[in-house]
Amino acid sequence: MAKLFPRRNFIGIDIKGARIWKGAKIANDTNLSNTAFLRTRIEWIQSYFGQGEIDEIWITFPDPQLKRRRKKKRLTGALFLNSYRNLLKDNGIIHLKTDHAILYNDTLSLLKFNGLEILMQAADLYSSPPVDPVLSIPTFYESQFLEEGIPIRYVSFKLPSRKEIIDLEDEEA
């Protein structure tokens, strides 16, 4: 993405040093001056960015956190969406790419429950060619899943800064 949009800045965030190293090496080897990398826990993201500082967030192939007690750790759950809405510009965009049907479907349910504007959704992104060339940039994991014939799911949506996101489980309680 940094190659496609040289006038925009991109920051990769991950807790795993090997993934950060690989991205930084590629950026360094190809002289991409619009990239930076931050090795940290996503729970600490508010320590690094100010309110309204981010235009878009890409969440690619996160751990689906399937166990009930770990659902609050989902990067597309209410807890994290409320954190992101403070960092994003008003109506900033969140993108999710995943191979995991449960994570994808649960995320869609949460978005619809909260009345968030879904910009695009695809249960099988590659069943027809993506209109946006950015969507056809495969991640490492995405390439592996595609080789195995696993469909890639995608959703993008707007996140209003003033709208508190309510978890489905909170509402049910």
Q: Which of 63, 90, 124, 132 is catalytic?
A: 63
Distance CA 72, CA 79 (A): 7
Pairing of strands 35-39, 10-14: parallel
- The reply to whether 132 belongs to the active site is no
- Count of CB atoms situated within 10 Å of the CB of 34: 15
Distance CA 13, CA 124 (A): 26
Report residue 11 as tokens: 């920051």
Question: Which residues share a beta bridge with 148?
Answer: none
Distance CA 111, CA 158 (A): 10
Cα–Cα–Cα angle for 101, 95, 107, rounded to 5 degrees? 40
Distance CA 8, CA 10 (A): 7
Report residue 77 as tokens: 């759950």
Annotated catalytic sites, by residue?
63
